[in-house]
């Protein structure tokens, strides 16, 4: 707490953020290439760097399904554009596509319905146990 005896703080597994001159990691690029090859009509949306997150790209397909990966910095935009061969947009200028927002909302509704179904089943089982006693 106060480091009274001069002991070193425990090391963290957190890696420092990449600098703005860096680019997409190989593993991330391979993942994005595979994702593009298995989805139809893909577009890329670049998200700006924030205090918490590195610059990233969101790939969105025709159904609204999406994936997100860090791209390091502005050089990563060029790599994404040339390697993936998909249109690239700045999310601050265009916003997220409507199909992505609709998919997120559909998934949220389906999750809530499933949670409600599970609660009803649990309540029904509790009632059945109470009646049998």
Split into its structural domains, the chain has a count of 2
- 130 confidence band (pLDDT: 50, 70, 90): confident
Residue 6, in any domain of the structure: no
Residue 67 in contact with residue 56, Cβ under 8 Å? Answer: no
Q: Are residues 46 and 84 in the same domain?
A: yes
CATH label of the domain that carries residue 78: 3.30.720
Residue 76 in contact with residue 68, Cβ under 8 Å? Answer: no
Helix 74-84 with 26-37: angle, nearest 10 deg? 40
Its pTM stands at 0.74
Mean pLDDT of the chain: 87
Residue 22, in any domain of the structure: yes
Q: Are residues 23 and 87 in the same domain?
A: yes
pLDDT tens digit string along 45-91?
A: 999 998 988 899 999 999 999 999 999 888 999 999 999 999 999 99
Q: Are residues 89 and 34 in the same domain?
A: yes
Helix (H, G, I), strand (E, B) or coil at 41: coil
Q: Are residues 34 and 52 in the same domain?
A: yes
Q: Which domain holds residue 126?
A: 97-133
């Amino acid at each position: 707490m106060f480091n009274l005896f001069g002991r070193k703080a425990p090391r963290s597994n957190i890696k420092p953020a990449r600098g703005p001159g860096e680019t997409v990691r190989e593993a991330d690029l391979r993942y994005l290439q595979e994702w593009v090859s298995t989805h139809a009509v893909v577009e890329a949306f670049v998200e700006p760097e924030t205090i918490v997150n590195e610059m990233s790209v969101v790939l969105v397909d025709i159904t609204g399904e999406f994936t997100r990966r860090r791209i390091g910095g502005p050089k990563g935009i060029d790599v994404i554009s040339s390697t993936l061969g998909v249109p690239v947009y700045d999310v601050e200028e265009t916003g997220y596509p409507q199909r992505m927002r609709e998919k997120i909302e559909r998934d949220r509704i389906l999750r809530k319905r499933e949670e409600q179904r599970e609660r009803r089943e649990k309540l029904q089982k509790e009632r059945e146990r109470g009646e049998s006693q």
